[in-house]
Amino acid sequence: MSIALVPLAFLMWGVTYPSRALPMLAPGIERLPSWAVTYLRLAGPAALAALAAVNCLLTSDKPPRLLIGIEPVAVGVCVLVVARTRLLLPGVAAAVLVVAVTRAMGVAA
């Protein structure tokens, strides 16, 4: 069994652990300028939104092209469901259902 990505897990730990540990182990380090605190808080939603966008709006070709298909619609459905329920799982389930049904009907590739 491959363990090729186990070192990546350690690398991810290496860049995550300092954020989790430094304020607890070195008090005072959290006294960042307010704009920096705000930037850190905004980085989460920004990074995840960018990730969703490149994965549902761009093809996997090199170079990528704009994706026209059921995928952006399904992600939009997920966003609507999550906005309404504040729960991730029903949103993901709805998106999967939209894609599965349209593919089964031959409407989507």
Using CB under 8 A as the binding rule, whether residue 41 contacts another protein is answered as yes
**Shortest spacing between CB 28 and another protein, in angstroms:** 10
Q: Using CB under 8 A, count the residues that bind another protein.
A: 78
Residue 75 burial (10 A CB sphere; 0-12, 13-18, 19+): buried
**Chosen residue from 68, 99, 105, 107 binding another protein by CB under 8 A:** 99
Using CB under 8 A as the binding rule, whether residue 105 contacts another protein is answered as no
Q: Which residues pair with 58 in a beta bridge?
A: 66
Cα angle value 6/11/13 (rounded, 5°) = 95
47 to 76, contacts with another protein by CB under 8 A? 47-58, 60, 62-66, 71, 74-75
